Amino acid sequence: MSSLENRITTVVVGGGHAGLAASHFLSERGIDHVVLERGEVANSWRRERWDSLRLLTPNWQSRLPGHAYDGPDPDGYMTMGEVVGFIDGFAARTRAPVRTGTTVTSLRRTDDGYHVTTDQGELACRAVVLASGACNLPAVPATLSEAVPAGVEQVTPFTYRGPDQLPDGGVLVVGASATGVQLAAELRRSGRPVTLSTGEHVRLPRTYRGRDVLWWMDASGVWDTRYDEVPDLTRARRLASPQLAGTPGRTTLDLNALTADGVELVGRATAVRDGQLLFSGGLRNVVSLADLKMERLLGTFDAWAQETGVDSDVKPPERFEPTRVPGSPRLRLDLRGGEVRTVVWATGFRPDYSWLDVPVVDGKGRLVHDGGVVDSPGLYALGLPVLRRRKSTFIHGAEDDARDVVDHLAGYLATRR
Amino acid sequence: MTTIDSIDNGVNVQALLDARETLKGAPEAARFTWRSTTRWENGVHTTSTVKDYFGLGAEHSHKTESSFTADHPEVFAAEDHGITPIEYLLVGLGSCLTAGVASVAQNRGIQLRSVEATLEGAHDIRGILGADSDVRNGYDGIKVTFSIDADASREDIEALVAQSQKRSAVFDALTNPTDVTVEVA
């Protein structure tokens, strides 16, 4: 193979917002590189999202190095088509050297760097930036999924496109983070009875004191908190996305809103026994944890507003009704009884490192890294939760992280020349 | 201003935090086995003893053996030598959650003055009597009410109670299914 082998200094795996941000800073430093993309630029946004999805972040917040939203609706939320257009625009503006339709099938260490095998050929390089995403696969609890009777359809956010694709009848949505609450609301609006199985979650109002709640996260500096300043980093990196939806009406989509729409809340799905799905009796606890954490966060926003004088520019502090829980939440649901025709697994996502032949993934499938510097010389990561900052996985979080990581990478190349 | 060092709820939080770090890398040592032995006395009267347990890779014994008498009340046509087994569940839950409150308070630098948990379990005995097959044998609901006097806001106290449930072994055992095997030796 060596006669066919291409040599290049740096390979970026993944042509999404994170990989393209890395490419931008690599170009700025004159480091020759290639971005390998299995599909097209922004592939996951194109192919692995349901039809109605919009970004959780408002348009004005969508920014990449030298590239910002300039449309007529700064407070709106991009549809997936608009996100693809935005990222495509960035790729074109930065003239990113993207090789589309190129899937990396193996990455392994060599004496002087890495050997990259793709379905289009081989590459040798000195440094690699893993920007292949944090959400490549649905994290479905296998023991539960395997025990669901054959007559009940099962979908994940990767296979779900819209309500029309599901059979009529009841739906159980498992998971009440951003994906779960959005799909529960959409399926309920389609006229189906919806039950929502709720474990630990993050509750947020869409707007607070007249501003988007993510404006507060941004302006008050919460999102800029560095990974080495976060008290419990493991927990912060595992935290699910908040109960938010990007809708034209900027409405809050918390459990109270879903209850008002007729969605039935039950506890975390724990086991299937004799065709019965069992739910935890701890629903009140997870709801109370989320209410308390939201109150605490809003309290820090208020304190920040007072300290900085922002108080006079925003509406007065608000407090929200505690989450209502049914008097006796159901503890079991007969999956054979016909009440539920579809189970939607909104139980999270995980990255796919099956192609990574470098021992840098721990027993739980998580990449071992220190702020994106992977424990293997010349190997870097971007776009993972709280990689270097709380905002790391957001589109606007890519810029600062990519700059830092490329700084480190450039230093590495300089010392090893 | 109270500092974390100056408050004392009698919980050695540092030892627990150290254990958490150590056991992260030693999952085998983290495996404990708790045991109890129940002996039939007469009627529905039993005596249970608890002494030994396994953990951190070795056998251990409590400083003293504990003994628990269980029976049923006279309204159940029994002699009432002790509390009913299902009441022991309330004892377990209440003591676990209260211990959790003290630990979390210590970790968060909150001085406790008094903590009292009152537990009520709602139980329809038609289940155990076989009078109605739609009624379950166990509790249909448990209510725990905490009265806590501490140097903290109501919000912080509610957070203590919430966190204590999140890390409670007995709360988990009661709210989530547990695989139970019963055999004849």
**Mind listing the pLDDT tens digit for each residue in A173-221?**
999 999 999 999 999 999 999 999 999 999 999 999 999 999 999 999 9
The pLDDT score that the predictor gives to residue A225 is: 95
A229/A217 Cα distance (integer angstroms)? 16
Q: What chain B residue is nearest to A268 in terms of C-alpha separation?
A: B176
Least confident of A171-175, A384-388, B4-8, B97-101: B4-8
The percentage of chain B sitting over the pLDDT mark of 90, rounded to a whole number, equals 83
- The amino acid at residue A143 is T
Six-digit token string for A245: 């939806």
The pLDDT value given to residue B16: 86
Say whether residue A280 is in contact with chain B using an 8 A CB cutoff.
yes
- Alpha-carbon span A56 to A157, nearest angstrom: 16
Q: How many CA atoms lie within 13 A of A45 on its CB side?
A: 22
pLDDT of A290 above 50: yes
**Residue B5: pLDDT band with limits 50, 70, 90:** low
Which residue of chain B comes nearest to A273, CA vs CA?
A: B177
Chain A residues with CB under 8 Å of B141 CB are 328
Residues of A with Cβ-Cβ distance to B155 under 8 angstroms? 292, 295-296
Maximum separation of any 2 CA atoms in chain B, in Å: 60
Per the listing, tokens 């008290």 go with: A231
Instruction: Confirm if A133 and A44 have CB atoms less than 8 A apart.
Output: yes
Please report residues of A whose CB lies closer than 8 A to that of B140. 328
Check pLDDT > 60 for residue A1. Answer: no
Cβ-contact A10, A127 below 8 angstroms: yes
pLDDT in tens, B30-72: 999 999 999 999 999 999 999 999 999 999 999 999 999 999 9
Q: Which residue of A lies nearest to B163 if distances are taken between CA atoms?
A: A289
d(CA B20, CA A305): 37
Confidence of residue B19 (pLDDT cuts 50, 70, 90): confident
The nearest alpha carbon in chain A to B156 belongs to A292
Strand (E) or helix (H) holding A85 = helix A80-93
Confidence band (pLDDT; 50, 70, 90) for A4? very low
Q: Are strands A121-125 and A6-7 parallel, antiparallel or unpaired?
A: parallel
Find the radius of gyration of the CA atoms of chain B: 20
pLDDT tens-place string over residues B80-128: 999 999 999 999 999 999 999 999 999 999 999 999 999 999 999 999 9
Q: What proportion of chain A, given as a percentage, has pLDDT over 90?
A: 95
Three-state secondary-structure class, residue A58: coil
The answer on pLDDT for B74 being more than 60 is yes
CA distance A90 to chain B (A): 42
Tokens 């739609």 found at: B134
Beta-bridge mates of residue A35: A12, A98
Q: Which residues of B touch A292 (CB under 8 A)?
A: 155, 158-159, 162
Element spanning B58, H or E: strand B58-70
> Chain A: nearest CA to B34, how far in angstroms?
23
Give the tokens for residue B177.
Answer: 């299914």
Instruction: Kindly state the tokens that stand for A327.
Output: 């008097």
The answer to whether A5 touches A120, Cβ cutoff 8 Å, is: no
Give me the phi and psi of A193, to 5 degrees please. Answer: -65, 130
Q: What share of chain A is helix, strand, coil (3-state, %, to 5)?
A: 30, 25, 45
Measured at the CA of B156, the angle between CA B155 and CA B158, to 5 degrees, comes to: 65
For residue A278, the cross-strand partners are: A271, A332
Q: Is B166's CB within 8 Å of A270's CB?
A: no
Which pLDDT score, from 0 to 100, does residue A417 have?
58
- Judged against a pLDDT cut of 50, whether residue B170 lies above it is answered with yes
User: Does residue A312 sit at the B interface (CB-CB below 8 Å)?
Assistant: no
Length of chain A: 417
Contact between B166 and A285 using a beta-carbon 8 Å cutoff: yes
Asked if B177 and A270 come within 8 Å (Cβ–Cβ), the reply is: yes
Q: Which chain A residues are Cβ-neighbours of B158 within 8 angstroms?
A: 288, 292
- Which of B155, B171, B177 lies at the smallest CB-CB distance from A278? B177
Return all residues near A213 (Cβ < 8 A) that are at least 6 apart: A204, A205, A206, A207, A244
Q: Is the distance from CB of A224 to CB of A404 less than 8 angstroms?
A: no
Query: Per residue in B71-89, is it b (16+ CB within 10 Å) or e — as a string?
Result: bbeeeeeeeebbbbebbeb
* Helix runs in A128-282, H state only: 142-147, 178-189, 213-219, 233-238, 255-260
Chain B residues with CB inside 8 Å of A295's CB? Answer: 155
Kindly report the number of other CB atoms within 10 A of residue A51's CB atom.
13
Q: Are A105 and A99 in contact (CB under 8 A)?
A: no
Q: Does A139 touch chain B (CB under 8 A)?
A: no
What per-residue confidence (pLDDT) applies to A2?
41
Chain A contact present for B156, CB below 8 A: no
pTM value is 0.93
Alpha carbons B33 and B50: distance in angstroms, whole number:
12
Considering chain A, what percentage of its residues have pLDDT values greater than 70? 98
More confident residue, A2 or A378: A378
Which residues from A are below 8 Å from B176, CB to CB?
268, 270-271, 278, 280-282
Percentage of residues in chain B with pLDDT exceeding 70? 97
Distance from CA of A363 to the nearest CA of B (A): 11
Which residue carries 């690699």 as its tokens? A128
Q: Is the pLDDT of residue A371 over 50?
A: yes
| Residue-level pLDDT at B56 | 92
Rounded distance between C-alpha atoms, residue A250 and residue A205, angstroms: 10
Chain B residue with CA closest to A291: the answer is B159
- The three-point CA angle B54-B55-B61 to 5° equals 50
Q: What is the pLDDT of residues A339-352, one digit of tens each?
A: 999 999 999 999 99
Tokens of residue A41, six digits: 């630029």
Complex prediction ipTM: 0.87
Sign of the CA dihedral A269, A272, A273, A277? positive
Residue A3 in this model has a pLDDT that exceeds 90: no
Q: What is the token pair recorded at A16?
A: 């999404």
The H-assigned helical ranges of chain B are 13-24, 85-107, 126-129, 154-166, 169-175
pLDDT at B146 over 90: yes
A5 band by pLDDT with thresholds 50, 70 and 90:
low
* Beta-carbon contacts of residue A325 (< 8 Å; ≥ 6 apart): A265, A283, A284, A287
**Closest approach of B162 to chain A, Cα-based (Å):** 6
